[in-house]
């Protein structure tokens, strides 16, 4: 029985002990009865709905114009597309300087009920704005202060706890435009120089609070490898190993998302130094979740025979956004690797 995945990676194998237990029971039964039976299994090449892996669909809603999830649409994702994940971005536009309203929290819970009833799971992110005026955008960027963020996380904690069964992951979000931690008014404006030591201390405080708001068996994702090793390794490139993996500490619960996969040699700033961070990320993602989206057609790097398939495997990707960006998806489809990409994300458990 093989409990590994095509991309050698173990963060989602919560049932690993169950697999071992079944195997032991299987062997004991044959030992007790003195029987020998050989069964040959052929791995399936089908695309099937597999929890917490594969393609995901992007969904978002705003407090100033709430758009609720549709049960029928989510069921269609699962039954007709074999998609079991969505990203749900909750924009807190109206609450930058105010508590989250009871009505918004009710709508949030209704959405999570819809996810549960549809038989899928969601990656969750909270942010305050997705509006970028000009490029680069001008400050102020529209995110909240640390004090308001901490207050909002406290309001959201019961919902994260009570719905953790259908929350696959929580992305750190909150800080900056899109919750991507770059264009931020209060945590280190990049147009005024690099974030300070105090800015990173504030970012860590938000991240620690998000970890505390989740059950210990759920993980979060940060936007770049640097954020993880800066916050939890004192800037040392030290990936997780067997001794630390799944031990409930903060560093063991922080994964990664890359929202500009293959867009440039640094994936538009995802990497500060690819030469060193590639090895770090490849090792770290054996134990924590990795996913994200493409954002720019960048041949030959985005080609199937370029870096696309190789880097999905190298960094143990479990899920990727099917809705963005279409030029990359069209290229993968034309070049013949699109379905292989989907089927090789995450686990495919098989009997040998």
Q: What is the pLDDT of residue 309?
A: 96
Q: What is the DSSP letter of 328?
A: H
pLDDT > 80? residue 168: yes
Share of the chain above pLDDT 90, in %: 82
Band of residue 350 on the pLDDT scale cut at 50, 70, 90: confident
Q: Where are the domains of the chain?
A: 48-343
pLDDT > 70? residue 6: no
Residues 40-69 have a mean pLDDT of 94
pLDDT > 90? residue 259: yes
Residues 63-82 have a mean pLDDT of 98
d(CA 286, CA 221) in angstroms, rounded, equals 14
Share of the chain above pLDDT 70, in %: 90
CATH architecture of 48-343: Alpha-Beta Barrel (3.20)
Of 20-24, 294-298, 332-336, minimum mean pLDDT range: 20-24
Band of residue 349 on the pLDDT scale cut at 50, 70, 90: confident
Q: Which two tokens mark 329? A: 């998806």
Q: Are 148 and 186 in contact (CB under 8 A)?
A: no
Handedness of CA 72, 77, 78, 80 (dihedral sign): positive
**Exposed, middle or buried: residue 42 (CB in 10 Å: 0-12, 13-18, 19+)?**
exposed
Q: What is the pLDDT of residue 4?
A: 39
pLDDT > 60? residue 13: no
Q: Which two tokens mark 106? A: 């009710």
Of 21-30, 50-59, 151-160, minimum mean pLDDT range: 21-30
pLDDT > 70? residue 42: yes
pLDDT digits (tens, 9 = 90+) for 114-135: 999 999 999 999 999 998 778 8
Q: What is the pLDDT of residue 34?
A: 63
Q: What is the pLDDT of residue 116?
A: 99
Of 47-51, 109-113, 199-203, minimum mean pLDDT range: 47-51
pLDDT > 90? residue 79: yes
Q: What is the pLDDT of residue 46?
A: 87
CA distances in angstroms from 66 to 106, 110, 111, listed in the order given: 11, 12, 11
d(CA 316, CA 347) in angstroms, rounded, equals 10
Per the rule left: phi > 0, alpha: psi between -120 and 50, beta: everything else, 262 is left
Mean pLDDT of the chain: 92
Smallest CA-to-CA distance from 206 within 128, 102, 317, 294 is with 128
Q: What is the DSSP letter of 45?
A: -
H or E stretch including 320? strand 319-321
Band of residue 145 on the pLDDT scale cut at 50, 70, 90: very high
């Amino acid at each position: 029985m093989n409990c590994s995945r095509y991309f050698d990676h173990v963060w989602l194998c919560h049932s690993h002990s169950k697999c071992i237990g079944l195997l032991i029971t299987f062997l004991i039964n044959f030992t007790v009865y003195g029987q020998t039976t050989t069964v040959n299994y052929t791995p399936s090449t089908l695309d099937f709905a597999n929890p917490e892996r594969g393609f995901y669909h992007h969904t978002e809603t705003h407090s100033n114009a709430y758009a609720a999830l549709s049960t029928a649409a989510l069921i269609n994702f699962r039954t007709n597309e074999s998609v079991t994940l969505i990203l749900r971005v909750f924009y807190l536009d109206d609450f930058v300087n105010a508590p989250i309203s009871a009505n918004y929290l009710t709508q949030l819970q209704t959405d999570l009920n819809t996810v549960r009833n549809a038989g899928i799971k969601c990656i969750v992110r909270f942010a305050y704005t997705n509006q970028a005026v000009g490029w680069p955008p001008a400050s102020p960027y529209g995110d909240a202060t640390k004090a308001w963020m901490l207050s909002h996380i406290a309001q959201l904690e019961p919902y994260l706890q009570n719905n953790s069964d259908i929350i696959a992951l929580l992305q750190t979000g909150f800080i900056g435009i899109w919750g991507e931690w770059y264009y931020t008014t209060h945590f280190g404006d990049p147009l005024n120089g690099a974030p300070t030591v105090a800015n990173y201390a504030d970012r860590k405080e938000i991240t620690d609070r998000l970890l505390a708001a989740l059950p210990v068996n759920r993980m979060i994702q940060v936007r770049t490898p640097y954020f993880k090793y800066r916050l939890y390794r004192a800037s040392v490139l030290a990936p997780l190993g067997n001794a630390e993996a799944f031990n409930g500490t903060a560093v063991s619960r922080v994964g990664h998302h890359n929202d500009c996969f293959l867009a440039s040699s640094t994936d538009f700033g995802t990497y500060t130094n690819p030469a060193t961070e590639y090895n770090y990320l490849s090792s770290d993602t054996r134990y924590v979740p990795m996913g994200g989206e493409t954002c720019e057609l960048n041949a030959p790097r985005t080609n199937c025979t370029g870096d696309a398939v190789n880097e999905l495997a190298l960094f143990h990707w479990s899920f990727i956004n099917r809705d963005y960006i279409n030029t990359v998806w069209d290229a993968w489809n034309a070049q013949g690797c699109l379905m292989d990409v989907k089927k090789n994300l995450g686990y495919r458990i098989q009997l040998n």
